[in-house]
Structure 1
Amino acid sequence: MQSNNPIFTRAEVYADRGNPMTVEGAIQKSVLMTVIAAVLGIAFYIFCNMTGNSSLAFGGLVVGGIGSFVVALIATFKTHLAPSLAIPYALLEGVFLGGISLFFEARFPGIASQALLATFATALTMFALYRFGIIRATAKFKAVVISATLAIMAVFIVQWIMVLAFQSTIPGLFESSWLGIGFAAFVAIIASLNLILDFDLIENGAANGAPKSFEWLCGIALLATLVWMYVSFLRLIGLLSSD
């Protein structure tokens, strides 16, 4: 079975047909992980903000971002470890969210709440569109969204290499210009559409009798998409707010 989350290229499912996953179980675990990440993110943000500890916030951003990515990869290729890695993953994402929110808030006051509202509203909209069959995860839809996701990842990798190696950026694409804003909006849209793939992943996993551990992997996938959406909205709103 293959996960369509941008972090994952494949998901190795171990045969445990005696205890299959359910949609309800995957949803419960996804909600639990999201709440953990959100609560820790808010607490970490408040602590760093009250103490003025920007170094701690930056450390949380880096450690949380890299750590959550590594944990997600391990869970992807070792699906039976997903139950043990899911909560640590949520905690790392929470630290990352708190750190990155603080830095955006320092430059654009109020942006975190705006991005959070946009993420919540978009997630509900995507769920409704999927639930009522308005948007279906057809093979063509999956191919387009996955291709766009991989293309976005490639652009960000090139950007990071240029910044680290040459102290430069891709011209116009990450600036407060029509091109930069357009690209940020495109990223936010693709991030949101990945939710459709995650919903489909959960339903197909349950329909095909995936093992119980796959519920936790679905939770990791869904949380990763929500975090990606939130960061995408932070970038988009930030660019729109720039002078």
Structure 2
Amino acid sequence: MAEDLLKEFDPFAIFDAEAARLDRFFSGLDDEAWERPSQCEGWSVRDVLGHLAGEELYNHACLDGNVQSLLTRLAREGVNGFHDFNEWSVRQRRSTPVRDVLAEWREQNGDTRRRMRELGAEHLIDTMAGPYPVGLQTFHYDSEYATHADDVGAPVSEEEADGRTLWRVAVGRFALAEQSADVQVEQTADQIWAHADGVSATLSYPEFVHATVGRLPAGHGLDPRLAAKLRCLA
């Protein structure tokens, strides 16, 4: 089963670690640093924080069992789909003092992490895709937080880098399997072999992670057909 790829990892501990990484990083920024561009096209570092804070509205709706009510309310405001929601969340906070946005995110995400851990990995919560296990949803959040931490340049120590890459490889492989992606992926001791549409490539673990989240650097050289098949996470 696809879930077997994740069995050696604790999604809640990872979520805590990635949230703490972002909190440490955000807490040390000056005014100039907040305005630097991130790796999210069109978003500054401040905008990434605004996105994370706004996303808690959805996270809490999942926990409260009222996702459809939230989507209906957002649709009345002309917000349809995740892309619109993300941009709306950022716009809503651009005129708010950044310290207030940071406090909002810190409080709301802390509540999300506490509630998810208390529910346990097997508990089902409401999502846009229907009832879904808390543990698997947490792994999706783990990936998003790690991706955005990289987007804004939050430091990763040498001691944690390898372990962090390993769980991200596992989450990427899980997401591809969960989505029944039309791509063949095989993992060796230090590489990933991928094949789709008659095209094959061998990627390092970090390259595979970057491919799954759409963060391969420009000019990387991976065939666009294969890159499209491998992208499976935010």
If the length of structure 1 is used for normalisation, what is the TM-score? 0.26
Between structures 1 and 2, the one with greater strand share: 2
Between structures 1 and 2, the one with greater helix share: 1
Larger RCO of the pair (alpha carbons < 8 Å, separation 6+): 1
If the length of structure 2 is used for normalisation, what is the TM-score? 0.27
